[in-house]
Amino acid sequence: MILTPAEWQVLALSAQVGICATLLCLVPGIFFGWLLARKDFFGKSVLDAILFMPMVLPPTVPGYLLLVTFGSQGVAGQWLKKHFDIELAFNWKGAVLASAVIAFPLMVQAAKLSVQMIDRRLELAASTLGSSPFKVWWSVSLPLMLPGILIGSIMVFSRSLGEFGATITFVGNIAGETRTLPLAIYSATHQVDGDAMAVRLIIICLALAFFSLLMSNLLTRRAEAWLGVRRA
């Protein structure tokens, strides 16, 4: 299967958006996952609901909210433009933000589950061996969270590759700038002679989704074996 330069461009842009969205979700996802799993505080249920809302909302809703907040007329958009000369609307960086917002709950959920699976007594043992709370987190909790973080990252990446509604609402469908795989498929299906292109991109999507899930499975098994949870 030979791809045209335009299709390679779509693929490269999708990978770029997916990788950047995954990196953007990583630190806050781990933080909120840990917070929800380990801490009890006033408003926890509210925070939990807010963090997971992108999962249940039609993606066009977060897309529209991003547009009014980070668009050229939005408060955050104007602030970013004025202080950092950054424009998100109708820009690939905006596609990263849209993908990250939609996929963020997957990272939080994966991190939260991985924290809940850690045996607290391991952390207590580390504490009685002279490790401060931060060192316990760094040297015990974080390594034991790795399989979950890995799964979360792959899920965020895969979800970003498939992100459509929020992206098209916030950053549009601009070839070479914001046209990621699903948007390119959508465009191709609306062209008179776009069927062949659509089929090629759909095959790529199927292959990427399959390999992402396969990688997730293999890496998790490797990580679990490394942690001693399961033999390789």
Name the residues that contact other proteins, by CB under 8 A.
119, 121-122, 124-133, 135-136, 139-140, 143-144, 226-229, 231
Write the CB contacts of 1 (distance below 8 Å, at least 6 apart in sequence).
200, 203
Q: Which is nearer to other proteins, 119 or 195 (CB)?
A: 119
CB of 132 to other proteins, least distance (A): 5
Query: Tokens standing for 187?
Result: 């465009």
CB of 124 to other proteins, least distance (A): 5
Closest CA to 14 of 199, 186, 181: 181
Q: Output b/e per residue, 103-131; b: 16+ Cβ within 10 A.
A: bbbbbbbbbbbbbeebeeeebeebeeeeb
CB of 225 to other proteins, least distance (A): 9
Closest CA to 103 of 46, 35, 40, 28: 28
Q: Which residue has the tokens 């992100």?
A: 163
CB of 202 to other proteins, least distance (A): 40
- Compute the distance between CA of residue 64 and CA of residue 73 in angstroms, rounded to an integer: 13
Q: Which is nearer to other proteins, 83 or 120 (CB)?
A: 120
Write the CB contacts of 127 (distance below 8 Å, at least 6 apart in sequence).
133, 136
Closest CA to 102 of 68, 146, 66, 149: 66
Residue 91 — left, alpha, or beta (φ > 0 → left; ψ -120 to 50 → alpha)?
Answer: beta
Q: Which is nearer to other proteins, 89 or 126 (CB)?
A: 126
Q: Which is nearer to other proteins, 202 or 219 (CB)?
A: 219
CB of 97 to other proteins, least distance (A): 34
Q: Which is nearer to other proteins, 102 or 150 (CB)?
A: 150
CB of 118 to other proteins, least distance (A): 10
CB of 153 to other proteins, least distance (A): 18
- Compute the distance between CA of residue 101 and CA of residue 220 in angstroms, rounded to an integer: 24
Q: Which is nearer to other proteins, 39 or 121 (CB)?
A: 121
Q: Which is nearer to other proteins, 106 or 111 (CB)?
A: 111
